[in-house]
């Protein structure tokens, strides 16, 4: 019987046949796919013809099709529905995959062919896209260590394999802490909580097999609990657990893993001739250097800290009236901040939330995509990896564009956070393929008889991830390696953060922010308050983010530390971190940085992109409004369709005529002087 992962997929849109795939299919399929890929690489090396673009660069891109199929199916489920068996498989696969790709990047005969093509690039008459592909392939091999030899080459391979093991362990430890911790609530503990939160707590209890409501470490549950619970001792228990994830001690403790990762990254950078890992990592980003990153972050840090400290004084005075002696603590901030927002802005999130139905916010995102880019969405029934997963075909003018997959609800087997990935990325060569894009979120799942309601922040998350999806869906490039979101890390957040702005467009909310019970639009007075409070508590939000970004940068722009927690504390102390605010991601739970190299030295990229997204949305406002067709077309033509086929700074300059300064960001966050 043919393994379904390796067979031709006779499914709608050539999607993985998840209904036919068992977990036991993955190991043998991976082994076969790895062997096939190795054979394809060997054939490229054995080709006796003079190396050229087609027989080397294009051939490399064409190799590994079977492996791509196996991994696209596996990684779709590994993060979003990580059963114990799938976690076991991921632990087994990580070093195997790392070794496989390290062997390829360290193959001297293969690199000699790539270098031969690179050295003759000016004689090959390549067009812009092929020239870019050659540049990126050659640079990728050099940065992977292909020019190393002997003991250095072997050590580089060992480092990569060990980092893969550590990244998987870090992620799985964090997931276990998040899925295992629970705080049971009595009926008395529910007093003062809004109905939507009580419903979510009861649903979480049912999912975990408990007799009553619970609080878990799912962000969609614990954050509103910290915001609304009047029981200070319960808030303290919940907050301390939330901020200690990955550092509970025992087998799931991530602190030693973080220390080893930092040491290995430094060694890797030194093998390649760099002073530290930040210099290595940032070389290919828009920022270019650690100094440029630090300069941006500190420009925003000072006004943000000043605002946060002023807010801390106000909240402490409010808490004092409730008998809290001294400054407020971390478990008090969200509670008193929500009280203050209700008092100063007459804005109660419990009253707002019924207007943000998940179903309507999905429809709002689709409607904006239609008005901006002409995309249409039709829900379809296809095999999925979990019953909660939904799928839409995306078309334009009747032609198939993409498949969009939405996986919105939190569950114990899903890692925290929200992300966008691609089961298949757009490409023309080596084979023409339309993208299959997945958005994964962690919204609280309601009881069956209730509609799913989102906070305003949840709705922003939905729009953010859908912005990434648009970047994938509208990609129109030749090579998969530069397709969609395959861009500089500090550019990749531009489309996602830019799309968040459409949630703030009044006509969008007037059409889709409809009350769950009455179906009536949000009253204009409430709408004005929601939009008017968009920058409320921005000192807190900016400080918790920049603190994480600066700790990440300092970890990688200096000698590795055997005690990351001490280093973290030293960085925060030097910054003058407000006492009642914690880093958004403390080191033992900083999956962006320690589950893989993706955002290492790169957590700043959200803010780097925000400088551009604030300026980019201003282009719409300066023209005909949020749905100006000429600006939308320019955005698609110059940014969304181009992926990484052109340098990011050049793409943005084509769109806007210049690169932006930090002023628009400060204004957008309400932090401008």
The pLDDT tens digits of the residues spanning 575-610 come to: 999 999 999 999 999 999 999 998 999 999 999 999
User: Using CA atoms, how far apart are residues 656 and 462, in angstroms rounded to an integer?
Assistant: 26
* Alpha-carbon distances of 316 from 170, 327, 582, rounded to whole Å: 36, 5, 16
User: Using CA atoms, how far apart are residues 197 and 224, in angstroms rounded to an integer?
Assistant: 7
User: Using CA atoms, how far apart are residues 333 and 315, in angstroms rounded to an integer?
Assistant: 7
- Is the pLDDT score of 491 beyond 90? yes
Q: Kindly state the tokens that stand for 530.
A: 């929601």
Q: CB 115: neighbour CB atoms within 10 A?
A: 17
Report pLDDT digits (tens) over 48-85: 999 999 999 999 999 999 999 999 999 999 999 999 99
| Residue 371 belongs to a domain | yes
Q: What's the confidence (pLDDT) of residue 673?
A: 59
Same domain, 339 and 372: no
| DSSP for 579-623, written as a single string | TT---SS-GGG-HHHHSSSTTTTTTTHHHHHHHHHHHHHHHHHHT
Q: CATH number for the domain including 92?
A: 1.10.1370.40
Same domain, 279 and 369: no
Active-site entry in 178, 465, 480, 493: 465
Alpha helices in 48-107 (DSSP H): 59-62, 65-80, 84-105
Report pLDDT digits (tens) over 328-351: 999 999 999 999 999 998 888 889
- Is the pLDDT score of 429 beyond 80? yes
| Residue 638 belongs to a domain | no
Same domain, 27 and 127: yes
Q: Kindly state the tokens that stand for 665.
A: 């960001």
Same domain, 207 and 265: no
Q: Kindly state the tokens that stand for 17.
A: 């046949």
| Residue 76 belongs to a domain | yes
Average pLDDT, the chain: 96
Q: CB 326: neighbour CB atoms within 10 A?
A: 9
Tokens 């919940």 -> residue: 238
Collapsed DSSP state (helix, strand, coil) of residue 390: strand
* Alpha-carbon distances of 301 from 137, 305, 330, 554, rounded to whole Å: 37, 6, 19, 15
DSSP annotation of 427 reads B
User: Using CA atoms, how far apart are residues 446 and 25, in angstroms rounded to an integer?
Assistant: 34
The residue out of 215, 245, 275 marking a domain boundary is 245
Same domain, 520 and 464: yes
Range 149-177 average pLDDT = 97
| Residue 621 belongs to a domain | no
The residue out of 573, 603, 633 marking a domain boundary is 603
Phi, psi dihedrals of residue 477, rounded to the nearest 5°: -130, 170
Report which of 416, 385, 387 is spatially closest to residue 179, judged by C-alpha positions: 416
Q: What's the confidence (pLDDT) of residue 663?
A: 86
In sequence order, the 6+-apart residues with CB closer than 8 A to the CB of 393 are 13, 377, 378, 380, 400, 403, 404
Same domain, 213 and 268: no
Same domain, 240 and 260: no
Report pLDDT digits (tens) over 431-447: 999 999 999 999 999 98
* Domains held by the chain: number: 4
Q: What's the confidence (pLDDT) of residue 339?
A: 96
Asked which of 134-143, 444-453, 454-463, 637-646 is least confident by mean pLDDT, the reply is 444-453
| Residue 640 belongs to a domain | no
72 in Cβ contact with 29 (< 8 Å):
no
Q: What's the confidence (pLDDT) of residue 397?
A: 98
Q: What's the confidence (pLDDT) of residue 347?
A: 85
Q: What's the confidence (pLDDT) of residue 656?
A: 97
Report pLDDT digits (tens) over 508-557: 999 999 999 999 999 999 999 999 888 999 999 999 999 999 999 999 99
Q: What's the confidence (pLDDT) of residue 668?
A: 86
Same domain, 227 and 99: no
Same domain, 387 and 437: yes
The residue out of 532, 563, 586 marking a domain boundary is 532
pLDDT cut 70: percent of the chain above it = 100
Residue ranges making up the domain that contains 105:
12-175
Same domain, 340 and 358: no
Tokens 């990351």 -> residue: 564
| Residue 625 belongs to a domain | no
Same domain, 474 and 359: yes
Q: What's the confidence (pLDDT) of residue 348?
A: 87
Enter the pTM of the model.
Answer: 0.94
Q: What's the confidence (pLDDT) of residue 326?
A: 84
pLDDT band at residue 27 using 50, 70 and 90 as cut-offs: very high
Range 291-311 average pLDDT = 96
Range 383-405 average pLDDT = 98
Residue 465 annotated among the catalytic residues of the structure: yes
- Is the pLDDT score of 573 beyond 80? yes
| Residue 657 belongs to a domain | no
Range 6-30 average pLDDT = 96
Which helix (H) or strand (E) segment is 180 a member of? helix 150-180
| Residue 396 belongs to a domain | yes
Same domain, 316 and 336: yes
């Amino acid at each position: 019987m043919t393994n379904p992962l390796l067979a031709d997929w006779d499914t709608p849109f050539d999607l993985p046949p998840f209904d036919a795939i068992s977990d036991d299919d993955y190991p043998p399929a991976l082994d076969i796919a790895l062997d096939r890929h190795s054979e394809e690489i060997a054939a490229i090396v054995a080709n006796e013809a003079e190396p050229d673009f087609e027989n080397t660069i294009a051939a490399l891109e064409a190799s590994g099709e079977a492996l791509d199929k196996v991994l696209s199916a596996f990684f779709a489920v590994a993060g979003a529905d990580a059963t114990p068996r799938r976690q076991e498989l991921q632990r087994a696969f990580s070093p195997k995959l790392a070794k496989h790709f390290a062997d390829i990047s360290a193959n001297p005969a293969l690199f000699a062919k790539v270098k031969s093509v690179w050295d003759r690039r000016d004689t090959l008459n390549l067009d812009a896209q092929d020239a870019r592909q050659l540049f990126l392939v050659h640079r990728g091999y050099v940065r992977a260590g292909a020019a190393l030899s002997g003991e250095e080459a072997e050590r580089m391979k060992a480092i990569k394999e060990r980092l893969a093991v550590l990244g998987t362990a870090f992620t799985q430890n964090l997931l276990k802490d998040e899925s295992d911790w629970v705080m049971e609530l009595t009926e008395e503990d529910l007093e003062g909580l809004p109905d939507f939160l009580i419903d979510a707590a009861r649903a979480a209890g049912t999912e975990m097999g408990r007799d009553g409501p619970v609080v878990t470490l799912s962000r969609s549950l614990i954050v509103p609990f910290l915001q609304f619970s009047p029981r200070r001792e319960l808030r303290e228990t919940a907050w301390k657990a939330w901020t200690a994830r990955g550092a509970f001690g025992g087998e799931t403790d991530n602190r030693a893993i973080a220390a080893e990762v930092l040491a290995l990254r430094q060694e890797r950078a030194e093998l390649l001739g760099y002073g530290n890992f930040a210099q290595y990592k940032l070389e290919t980003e828009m920022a270019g250097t650690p100094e440029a990153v630090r300069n941006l972050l500190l420009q925003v840090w000072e006004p943000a800290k000043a605002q946060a400290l002023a807010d801390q004084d106000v909240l402490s005075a409010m808490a004092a009236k409730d008998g809290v002696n001294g400054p407020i603590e971390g478990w008090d901030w969200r509670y008193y901040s929500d009280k203050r927002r209700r008092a100063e802005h007459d804005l109660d999130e419990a009253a707002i939330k019924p207007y943000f139905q998940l179903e309507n916010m999905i429809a709002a995102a689709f409607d904006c995509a239609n008005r901006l880019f002409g995309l249409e969405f039709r829900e379809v029934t296809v095999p999925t990896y979990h019953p909660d997963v939904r799928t839409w075909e995306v078309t334009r003018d009747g032609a198939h564009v993409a498949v969009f997959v939405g996986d919105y609800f939190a569950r114990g087997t899903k890692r925290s956070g929200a992300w966008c990935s691609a089961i298949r990325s757009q490409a023309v060569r080596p084979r023409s393929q339309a993208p299959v894009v997945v958005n994964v979120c962690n919204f609280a799942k309601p009881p069956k008889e209730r509609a799913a309601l989102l906070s305003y922040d949840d709705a922003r998350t939905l729009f953010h991830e859908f912005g990434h999806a648009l970047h994938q869906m509208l990609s129109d490039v030749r090579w998969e390696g530069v397709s969609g979101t395959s861009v500089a890390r500090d550019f990749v957040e531009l489309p996602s953060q830019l799309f968040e702005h459409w949630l703030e467009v009044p006509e969008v909310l007037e059409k889709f922010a409809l009350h769950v019970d009455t179906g009536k639009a949000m009253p204009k007075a409430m709408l004005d308050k929601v939009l008017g409070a968009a920058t409320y508590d921005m000192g807190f939000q900016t400080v918790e983010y920049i603190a994480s970004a600066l700790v990440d940068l300092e970890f990688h722009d200096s000698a590795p530390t055997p005690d990351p927690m001490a280093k973290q504390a030293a960085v925060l102390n030097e910054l003058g971190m407000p006492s009642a605010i914690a880093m958004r991601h403390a080191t033992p739970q900083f999956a962006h940085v320690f589950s893989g190299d993706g955002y290492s030295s790169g957590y700043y990229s959200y803010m780097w992109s925000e400088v551009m997204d604030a300026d980019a949305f201003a282009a719409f406002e300066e023209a005909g409004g949020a749905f100006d067709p000429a600006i939308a077309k320019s955005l698609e033509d110059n940014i969304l369709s181009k992926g990484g086929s052109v340098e990011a700074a050049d793409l943005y300059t084509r769109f806007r005529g210049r690169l932006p300064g930090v002023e628009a960001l400060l204004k957008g966050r309400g932090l401008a002087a």
